[in-house]
A = this chain, B = another copy of it.
């Protein structure tokens, strides 16, 4: 079964290279950018400006090989790809919850941007605590490592080989 998607828009971001890019929105507080939605989808934005936060699903377009076990940015041990948030995945879909500050025509101004410039966006959903906030009891290997989240930066390890040679 093949599933085909097309980008609904693209990210404009100050992060031009993987190296040095925050690894999560928590390390990107206040960083501003835009989502430029394709104008054919503009009607779908109706009433979105009422939400302070939105979920962006996007295609990690520079991610490379998808080995099933990898060292994440926050640990020096290997973990399964489904227990880490690395961009290189069997289906390289990224997820970021960002602040929505303004919508003007087909342009969404956003804050806390941890995405690369040019990232193709697949979906926008309103972020709703009643749906998206869960009380967890365990966060596995991250328990001892989550304190690194806001300071660790991308070092390019998940880039496609062609991108690394640039």
Residues of A within 8 A of B (CB): 1-8, 24-26, 41, 43-55, 57, 59, 68-69, 78-85, 89-91, 93, 95, 97, 120, 122-134, 136-143, 146, 149
Contact = CB atoms under 8 A, between A and B. Distances in A.
Chain A interface SS verdict (over half): mixed
Nearest to A129: B136
Nearest to A24: B131
Nearest to A7: B1
What is the count of identical protomers in the complex? Answer: 2
A53 B135 CA distance: 9
A84 B126 contact: yes
Q: Which of A5, A26, A52 has the most chain B CB within a 10 Å cutoff?
A: A5
B126 A85 contact: yes
